[in-house]
Structures are given as C-alpha cells and as structure tokens.
Amino acid sequence: MVQQILLNNIEVPGLAGIEVYRKLGGYSSLEKALKSMTPDEVTGEVKLSGLRGRGGAGFPTGMKWSFLDKSTDKPRYFVCNFDESEPGTFKDRHLGQLNPHLLIEGMILGSYALGASASYIYIRGELFYVMRIIEKAIEEAYAHGFLGKNIAGSGYSLDLYCHPGGGAYICGEETALLESLEGKRGNPRLKPPFPAVVGLYGCPTVVNNVETIAALPWIINHGGNAYSAMGIGNSKGTKLISACGHINKPGVYEIELGLPVEEFIYSDQYCGGILNGNKLKAIVAGGSSVPILPASLILKTASGAPRLMSYESLAEGGFETGTMLGSGGFIVMDDTTCIVKNLLTFARFYHHESCGQCSPCREGTGWMEKILHRMEDGRGSMGDIDLLADISKHIEGTTICPLGDAAAWPVSSAIRHFRAEFEEHIKLRKCPYTK
C-alpha cells in the first residue's frame, strides 16, 4: 500500500472535527514547529522535501517561498488557492471537505514560515458547503488556541479567514485571485511584479494550492528528506489524482509519483480498467488545460518506455508526443468518445471563462468554439482544420495569463493526434459518433 500522506484516515468518521483530528495526531507538526523550529528552518524542510506546487504549474514550493520579499516592513500574506474550477479536477474539495484541519494546520505552518499574521483561504463560490465545513474547523482551531493570539504559547499570532469567490474559473489564476480577494473583478495582473513582491494589497504574498499546503504537516513531522525519498526524479512525494470518465472506479486517489500510467488505469487499486471492457482511446492527464494524448502515447512514451505518473515522464517528448501532470485531473476516454465533441465542450468553457483582457484569448476562444461547433454539426470544411490550428498557435504565449494557452493546447494537440477524426466529420457532413 502506498504511503498515504494526504488521504490517511480520510474515512475515519468525524475526522472533520478537531477532537478526532487531534486524537489521530493532528496539530502535532504545528506544536513541533512552534516549539523547536525557526521560520527559516520550516522553509528549509520544505525545500529539502522537493515538494512542487500541486495547483498545476509544479513550481518548487520552497523556492517560491524564498522569493518572498523580506526587505520591506509591509505585512506578508499566505493565501490558499481553493478555487478548483479546472474541468476534471476535484481533489481539493475532497480533501478540504473531509479533512479541513489538515489544510488549516498546513496554513498555520506556511504562515509561520513566511511571517504572515493574516492569511486567507480563497474558495470557489460554488463550494459553499465546503466553505461551511472549513469555517467551522477554523472556529474550532481558534477555540483550541491554534489560531489567534500567542498560538500554543509560542508568541506567534495568526488570523485565518475563508473567503468565497464568485465562481469564475479565472479567479484560480493567482493574480486574478488576489484581485478578487481585494474585492475587485478577477482580472489577471501583468507579471512582473510577481505576488512574492507585490501581492495582496500590494504586499509580499505567497499563493499555494490546497494540496500543496496539506502536505506541509507531514513534511514537518517526518522531515523533508523522508518526503523526498518518495517519488521519482524531480517528482517527489505523493500526488492526488482525481480520475473520471470511462473507468470502472472514478474517484480521488493518492499515488506515489512514478506509478506507471498503465497500472493507474488498469489496476483494481485505482481506476479498475475501462468501462464495459471498451478500448482506451485518449487521456487528458492533468485537467482540461493540458494536451490530450492518444492511448498509444499515454501508456508508453514515443521512445517506448513505460509512461509514468510524474512531471518528467508525462512531459517526455514535449508537446509533440507528451503532455503535463497539471492539476492531476485525469480524464479517461474510451473508443466511443468523439474527440471533436469533447473539444467543443472544452472550447465553450474557455470562451465563457475568458476575462476578455487580451484580444487573442477573448476573440480566439470564441472563434475556436464556433469552428468546432460547425464541424460537429457537419457544416465544417477541410480548411477549418488548419484554421483552428492557426488560431490556437496565435493564442499560445501571446496573452497576459495562461488561460489562453490552456484553451489552445487541447485544440492543437487534438488536431496533432486525431486529425483523421476531424476530416471524417467534414467528409461525412456529420459527427460519426452520433446515431
């Protein structure tokens, strides 16, 4: 059985309450850090652990913390990104709802390391029921002296707030999130300056994902070296994967990074194989924003090596033959899936969610949706395929934030790997999958 760091005890009844959480060893990392470690020592363990941000980009967490501007006497903020709106991704809500104190303990550790005295959990508006659970857990943490003034007699004080978003996907982008937290429309900011220098209310800020923060208590309790002993290459530790689509056992799994993709899909411990014994057609491995891969390239890399669930292995071959681990939203498609229709669903989403600041994203996402719509309807022409590819190329890398790339990559990769299916729609003048 894989070491469970995040989902350990997740099925214990009452885990969301502080009594049960404490009985199972909860808040011990906090007591350890506040009693015997300086903030820099906490950061040092996080650096040693090799933990990388679990929100999608995979940036090393300890390094991100070390960028925080400490040369100013402005307040510093630690912010948890609980927006989780990426299609196919549902790991953070699972963890936050069932084990809210793990997140709160991680928030306090991170805040202590960064020298923050006020911190925020920014939660997606639709997850109101999860927010209620987290708010209750925050109240309990205050009542037990883990939040507020002079935490556990250490002299360190922290206030923690939970703030709901309005339900816009773009508010998951960290600078849009900060704008929204400040009460403004969630438009991404131009970078630089990065939040580590100019973040919330113009002050140095670190934004981390729920899962990243929830790994901190284990790292402090067991040490960074113990965490980095798990995983493979520069993909250390464990990762939550939310698996959905045409599989026998959809759900949230904690895997050790480096697990073969084939084992993840077919073993009974995880996805349990493809629904109805159908054939695997394609996978979107890291949430809707990453390139789609056909079965032939997801089980093995182009060089024939087994493809592993790791940042490096999934990316092997670049975008020609690889993809990204992203947020860990693993969408499985069997051979009954229409790639064009699937892409249309994604395109509609990105068009709807574009904030509209950059013309390539604002105009391009709508244009791609329109073309995909007419193709799926049997009204496309052969020229539409290259037009789509061309639009996606002109969005990539030309926008303020990566939502533009996120909209473009699924399109360019689908054309790269499934061109024949687009052509079939056009030749037949209908979707071949629609009866």
Q: List residues near ligand FMN by CB under 6 A.
A: 53-57, 59, 64, 81, 83-86, 169-170, 172-174, 207-209, 212, 401-403, 406
356 touching ligand SF4, by CB under 6 A: yes
- Sign of torsion, CA 33 196 79 241? negative
Buried b (16+ CB within 10 A) or exposed e, 26-40: bbebbeebbeebebe
Only segment of 103-111, 128-136, 334-342, 399-407 that touches ligand SF4 (CB under 6 A): 399-407
Q: Which two tokens stand for residue 90?
A: 């549902």
- Integer Cα distance of 263 and 283 in angstroms: 14
Nearer to ligand SF4, 212 or 399 (CB): 399
Binding mask 360-379 for ligand SF4 (x = CB under 6 A): -xx-----------------
411 touching ligand SF4, by CB under 6 A: no
228, 234, 345, 357: which one binds ligand SF4 (CB under 6 A): 357
Considering CB distances under 5 to 8 angstroms, the limit depending on partner class, which of ligand FMN, ligand SF4, none binds residue 354?
A: ligand SF4
Cβ 190 to ligand SF4 shortest distance, Å: 9
Cβ 399 to ligand SF4 shortest distance, Å: 3
The bridge status of strand 329-334 relative to strand 118-123 is unpaired
Nearer to ligand SF4, 55 or 224 (CB): 55
Nearer to ligand FMN, 26 or 53 (CB): 53
Q: Which two tokens stand for residue 154?
A: 């250490």
Considering CB distances under 5 to 8 angstroms, the limit depending on partner class, which of ligand SF4, ligand FMN, none binds residue 404?
A: ligand SF4
Cβ 327 to ligand FMN shortest distance, Å: 7
293 - beta bridge partners?
Answer: 283
- Integer Cα distance of 348 and 79 in angstroms: 30
Per DSSP, the residues of 393-410 read: HHHTT-SSSTHHHHHHHH
Interface positions, 172-201, toward ligand SF4 (CB under 6 A): 188
Considering CB distances under 5 to 8 angstroms, the limit depending on partner class, which of ligand FMN, ligand SF4, none binds residue 355?
A: ligand SF4
Nearer to ligand SF4, 217 or 404 (CB): 404
Per DSSP, the residues of 268-310 read: TTTT-SBGGGPPEEEEE-SSTTSPEEEHHHHHB-TTSPBPBSS
Nearer to ligand SF4, 167 or 356 (CB): 356
Cβ 366 to ligand SF4 shortest distance, Å: 11
Pick the closest to residue 265 from 340, 8, 10, 282 (CA basis): 282
Spell out the alpha helix ranges (H) of 24-127: 28-36, 39-49, 61-66, 91-98, 100-114
Is 276 buried (19+), middle (13-18) or exposed (0-12) by CB count in 10 A? exposed
Peptide bond into 192 cis (omega under 30): yes
Interface positions, 151-170, toward ligand SF4 (CB under 6 A): 170
Cβ 265 to ligand SF4 shortest distance, Å: 32
What's the angle, vertex CA 421, arms to CA 417 and CA 427, rounded to 5? 145
For tokens 């996606």, the residue is: 392
Pick the closest to residue 122 from 76, 80, 172, 169 (CA basis): 80
Q: Total number of residues binding ligand SF4 (CB under 6 A)?
A: 14
Task: Report the SS3 class of residue 315.
Answer: helix
Considering CB distances under 5 to 8 angstroms, the limit depending on partner class, which of ligand SF4, ligand FMN, none binds residue 361?
A: ligand SF4
Nearer to ligand FMN, 240 or 385 (CB): 240
Q: Which two tokens stand for residue 195?
A: 């939040």
- Integer Cα distance of 71 and 93 in angstroms: 36
Considering CB distances under 5 to 8 angstroms, the limit depending on partner class, which of ligand SF4, ligand FMN, none binds residue 392?
A: none
26 touching ligand SF4, by CB under 6 A: no
- Integer Cα distance of 314 and 324 in angstroms: 5
404 touching ligand SF4, by CB under 6 A: yes
414 touching ligand SF4, by CB under 6 A: no
Residues found near ligand SF4 in the complex (CB under 6 A)? 170, 188, 354-358, 361-362, 399-401, 403-404
